[in-house]
């Protein structure tokens, strides 16, 4: 079996190493109204914690990433 990547076994803070995935429209139903949602998933590669962003508009995504990184990296 192959060794784990260094970022998985080294002592690091959560979300120091991340992966970002975007997902295409998913049909949802809210209050009997069908709608499609886009999203972004930010995953910590060390702890596998998730942070979800429910909109894929450029400004929304940039604001979400700023809010996400600000408390972690002053």
User: What are the residue ranges spanned by the domains of the chain?
Assistant: 6-69
pLDDT reported for residue 69: 73
pLDDT digits (tens, 9 = 90+) for 22-52: 888 888 888 999 988 877 787 887 777 776 7
Q: For residues 63 and 56, what is the distance between their CA atoms, to the nearest angstrom?
A: 11
User: Is the pLDDT assigned to residue 54 strictly greater than 60?
Assistant: yes
Reduce the secondary structure of the chain to three states and give it as a string: CCCCCHHHHCCCCCCCCEEEEEEEEEEEEECCEEEEEEEEEEEECCCCCEEEECCCCHHHHHHHHHHHHCCCCC
């Amino acid at each position: 079996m192959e060794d784990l990547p260094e970022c998985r076994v080294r002592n690091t803070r959560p979300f120091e190493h991340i992966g970002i995935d975007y997902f295409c429209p998913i049909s949802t139903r809210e209050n009997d109204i069908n709608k499609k949602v886009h999203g972004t998933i930010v995953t910590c590669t060390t702890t596998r914690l998730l942070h979800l962003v429910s909109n894929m508009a450029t400004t929304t995504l940039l604001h979400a990433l700023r809010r996400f990184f600000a408390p972690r990296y002053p």
